[in-house]
Amino acid sequence: MKSTRRIISAAMALILLVSSALTFASCKKDDGKYTIGIIQLVTHDALDAATQGFKDALIEEFGEENLTFDYQNAAGSADTCGTIANTLVSKNVDLIMANATSALQAAANATIKIPILGTSITDYATALDIKDWNGTVGGNISGTSDLAPLSEQAKMIKEMFPDAKNVGILFCSAEPNSQYQSNVIKAELEGMGLTVSEFKFTDTNDVSAVTQAAAAASDVIYIPTDNTAASCTETIYGAMTGKKTPIVAGEEGICKGCGVATLSISYYDLGYATGKMAAKILRGEAKVGEMPVEFASATTKKYNPTICAELGITPPEGYVAIVTEEAAE
């Protein structure tokens, strides 16, 4: 009897293993129609552009008539990301695109079978608590990273503000990838002889107060690719009014709203690359767990002409102007 049970258990384990492998290997469907779940953490320019690029790439690959996008926005709530992820899993969508770290974490917790592609993720090892990171997540997850070289961003701060002595790093304490960026760029700036302090807000409610404290204590402020900050640029700009403390941002959307300069990537292109990865998975041309995380192919130094003019800042040569509403008028 025990022998029979062992045989049945071994057979069931083999079936589950094969089933799991087949799930990861291919999502190809006979009718060529796919339902794609999209979890976007919050509305702001960068994430919106990544979602649009992702959708455009898939539409080019399969035709709009063959795709159903189940897009859901969590309005900045990690808990809502979890609810959305579970809903998409219950619908048995063919693939989930998770836009931002909280969205990726929620999707990863919700399923080990449905392929998941992250985008706008700074560091996958930090987001998913991966030890011995080798560039590939494995399992049912891969995606793209929005990390522009932090060493280059540190050099840009020094280049634009050579007389600065104190740098404040402003970010949300609830976003682990923002803490990761702060750790890296803090070490880079301290290596240049600068004094660096962190200023953390817990959510949107204390953004203004923490920004004012950062402005009072700093010669220049750095904001990483932080989703809460990106959704609160008007508040940050308002808190900075009259302070004359310039902000260097980790991405263009934040810079456009409250900063003077950024080392920018194209979030649309990043989302588009994620869509191309999705097409390979859906066609069965690639296994998601074997796909290395991809990075933006190019960065550009940009400046905000409106806020630079307000603060009397002339950017160095080689910086490209960001088109703002004020500049366009």
Residue 2 has pLDDT above 60, yes or no: no
Over residues 226-268, the pLDDT tens digits come to 999 999 999 999 998 778 899 999 999 999 999 999 998 999 9
To the nearest 10°, the Cα dihedral for 29, 31, 34, 35? -110
Q: What percent of the chain has pLDDT over 90?
A: 83
Residue 7 has pLDDT above 60, yes or no: no
pTM: 0.79
Over residues 189-215, the pLDDT tens digits come to 999 999 999 999 999 899 999 999 999
Lowest mean pLDDT of 4-13, 23-32, 163-172, 196-205, name the range.
4-13
29-146+267-295 under CATH 1.10.3720.10, yes or no: no
The architecture (CATH level 2) of 150-264+300-328 comes to: 3-Layer(aba) Sandwich (3.40)
Q: Tokens for 121, please give them.
A: 């993720």
Q: Please, where in the chain does CATH 3.40.50.2300 lie?
A: 29-146+267-295, 150-264+300-328
Over residues 92-138, the pLDDT tens digits come to 999 999 999 999 999 999 999 999 999 999 999 999 999 999 999 99
Over residues 48-80, the pLDDT tens digits come to 999 999 999 999 999 999 999 999 999 999 999
Maximal CA-CA distance, the chain: 85
